[in-house]
Amino acid sequence: MRISRLYIAGSAIVSAIIVLLIFVTLIVNSSAAVAANGFHLFTYEWNPAKDQFGVLPMIFGSGAVTIIALCLAVPIGLMAAIFTSEILNPMWRAPVKSVLEILAGIPSIIYGLIGIAFFSVWVGDLFDLQSGRTILTAGLLLAIMILPTIITLCDDALHNVPQKYRETAAGLALYKYEIVKDVLLPIAKADINGAVLLALGRALGETMAVMLVIGSIDRVPEPFYNALSAGQTITSKLGREVAESAFGSVHFSALIFMSLLLVAITVSLTSLTQFYFKQEQRLVE
C-alpha cells in the first residue's frame, strides 16, 4: 500500500519535475545572453564573431512564415471542415477523419524532403526566382502541415453543435450557407478559435521542414513584405546553430534565449487553447 502510493505520487512528481526542469534549464542558460546584451538582443544584427546577437530577424521570420501558413490553411481548412461536417454523407465522415489523422502523422522531415525536392523548385520556377528557398516556400509547406489539424478540429467544432439548431434553421427555410454562417459558426466559434491557436503553436514550433527550405539568412527582407526572399525562423536558427556554438558561451546562451521566447509563446498558446476547448472533469468523489 505504501509502495503503491509512493509509486503513484512519485510518477506525478517526476512528470512535474520534467516540466519544471526544462523551464529552469532554459532560463538559467539564457541568462548569460541577457546579462551581456540586455535590450541589444532585440536588434537586427546577428554576428557571433562581433558579439552581436540581435534576434529580431528570427522573430520576424517565425512570424512571417506562421502568418502565411495560417492565411492559407485556415480558410481552406475551415471550408473543407464545413464540407466534411455539413455536406458530406455522414457515413464517410469517420474514414475521412482517419485519413486526415494519418496525414497529420507524416513526419516533418519527410515534408522537408518534399519541400526541397519539389516546392522550392516550383516556387523558384513560378516566380522566376534565383532560389526557391524563400519565406513563402516555408509558409506554404507549413500550411500543408497544419491543414489536417485545422480540418479535424474545425470539423469536431461544427459537428458538436447540437442537431436541433440545424433542424430549426432548416425549418425556417434557410439555405445551407445561412445555416452555417448565421447559426453554426457563431456557436462553434470558441472551438474554432482554439483550433487556430493550436495550429499556430504547431507552426511556430516546426523545425525540420522549415530549416531545409527557408534559406537561413538572418535578415529581414527588403521590403519587409517580400516573402520571395530567404529568411530565418527561430527554429531554423536553432536547428542549424545550436550544435555549433560552445556550451556556456554568450553565443549559445543567445540561442537558448530565443528558444525560451519560442517556448513561452507556444506554451501560452497551448494553455490558452485549453480555455477554448470544453473539458469534462471528474474529481475524486
Partner 1 sequence: MSNRSIANTAFVFLSRLATGICGFILVFLIGVIVWNGMNSMNIQFLLSEASNFGASGGILYQIVGSLLLVVMASVLVMPVAIGTALFKSEYITSPALFRLSSILIYSLNGIPSVTFGIFGLIFFVNILGTGISWFVGSIILAMMMLPTIVLTTYQSVNSIPSSYRENAYALGLNKWQVIVKVLLPQSFHGAVTGLLIALARAIGETAPIMFIATAFSGITVPGSLFDPVVSLPTHILALAQQATNEAALQNAWGSSLVLLSLVLVFSVSALLSRLRLKEISQR
Partner 2 sequence: MQDHSSTMRYSTVMSRLTLAIFVLVSAACSQADTVNINVSGSSTVLPVVSRAAEQYAQEMPEVRVVVNAGGSGVGVKQLGSGQTDIGMISRDITDGEYEQYADVGLKTYAIGVDAVVPVVSSEIYAAGVTSLTFPQIASIYRGEVTNWSAIGGPDLEILVIDKEASRGTRQVFMSKIMGNKNATAPGAKLVLGSNNEEQTALAQSDAAIGMLSHAWLNDDVKGLSIIIADGAPIEPTLANIKNGQFPITRNLLLVSRSDLSAPAQDFIDYILSPEGQKIVEESGYIRVSE
User: According to CB under 8 A, which residues from 159 to 178 bind partner 1?
Assistant: 175-178
99 binds partner 1 (CB under 8 A): yes
Indicate whether 105 belongs to the interface with partner 1 (CB under 8 A).
yes
State residue 230 phi and psi, 5-degree precision: -70, 160
Label each residue of 61-102 as H, E or C: HHHHHHHHHHHHHHHHHHHHHHHHHHHCCHHHHHHHHHHHHH
**Is 98 a residue that touches partner 1 (CB under 8 A)?**
yes
Asked whether the beta carbons of 241 and 8 are under 8 A apart, the reply is no
CB 36 within 8 A of CB 48: no
Stretch binding partner 1 (CB under 8 A), from 41-49, 156-164, 223-231, 234-242? 234-242
Binding mask 179-208 vs partner 1 (x if CB under 8 A, - otherwise)? -xx-------------------x--xxxxx
Q: How far is the CB of 48 from partner 2 (least distance, A)?
A: 6
Site for partner 2 in 31-50 (CB under 8 A): 47-50
Is residue 201 within the footprint of partner 2 (CB under 8 A)? Answer: no
SS3 assignment, position 255: helix
Please state at what angle helix 185-205 crosses helix 234-241, rounded to 10 degrees. Answer: 30
Nearer CB in complex with partner 1: 214/262: 262
Q: Which is nearer to partner 1, 67 or 76 (CB)?
A: 76
Taking the least distance from each CB to partner 1, the nearer of 45 and 75 is 75
CB 98 within 8 A of CB 187: no
In 90-184, where does DSSP find H-type helix? 93-104, 108-114, 120-126, 135-159, 163-171, 176-178
Bridge partners (DSSP) listed for residue 46? 53
Find cell 458538436 and name the residue: 160
Which of the ranges 35-43, 57-65, 142-150, 241-249 carries the binding residues for partner 2, by CB under 8 A?
241-249
Residue 120 is a binding residue for partner 2 (CB under 8 A): yes
By CB under 8 A, name the one of 113, 124, 267, 272 that touches partner 2.
Answer: 124
224 sits near partner 2 (criterion: CB under 8 A) = no
Q: Which residues pair with 53 in a beta bridge?
A: 46
Question: Which residues are bridge partners to 52 per DSSP?
Answer: 47
Question: Candidates 1-9, 123-131, 160-168, 184-192 — which segment interacts with partner 2 by CB under 8 A?
Answer: 123-131
Site for partner 2, rule CB under 8 A: 47-50, 116, 120-121, 124, 130-133, 215-218, 229-230, 240-241, 243-247
